[in-house]
């Protein structure tokens, strides 16, 4: 959650454990994953920015924070992809601009491979600190 004053909510998101059917993923992604019927995933729930704070880059900040946390959580609870359900076309375009990939069977459900997040953030990001 982002709050400028500790009271006003500028934006928020949630992460939770989830699964994705291997059959729902594009072939080029699925063939790199173990052959289980369901693949562990992290669900990025309703990333939202208050109308008052639109256009200030808060959505991108929240998304990058979600990437960091999803990667860190993957160290504890395995996850192959970060999944999101775009609530409308505007949200879908936001995720597409940030290189999310639509699931062929559900165009408003998009995903981002955890391995790609690790490449983006670097291998040391998200590791547990001693």
Active-site residue set? 95
The structure tokens listed for 7 are 């009271």
* Burial profile 108-129: b = 16 or more Cβ within 10 angstroms, e = fewer: ebbbbbbebbbeebeeeebeee
The sign one gets for the Cα dihedral 122, 123, 129, 130 is negative
CA 15, 61, 87, 51 dihedral sign is positive
């Amino acid at each position: 959650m982002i709050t400028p004053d500790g009271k006003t909510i500028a934006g928020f998101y949630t992460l939770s454990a989830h699964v994705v059917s291997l059959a729902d993923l594009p072939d080029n992604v699925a063939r790199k994953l173990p052959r289980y019927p369901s693949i562990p995933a992290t669900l990025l729930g309703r990333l939202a920015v208050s109308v008052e704070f639109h256009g200030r880059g808060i959505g991108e900040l929240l998304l990058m924070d979600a990437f960091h946390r999803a990667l860190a959580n993957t160290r504890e609870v395995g996850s192959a992809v970060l999944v999101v359900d775009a609530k409308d076309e505007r949200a879908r375009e936001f995720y597409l601009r940030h290189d999310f990939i639509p699931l062929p069977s559900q165009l408003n459900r998009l995903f981002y491979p955890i391995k790609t997040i690790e490449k983006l953030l670097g291998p040391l990001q998200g590791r547990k600190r001693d």
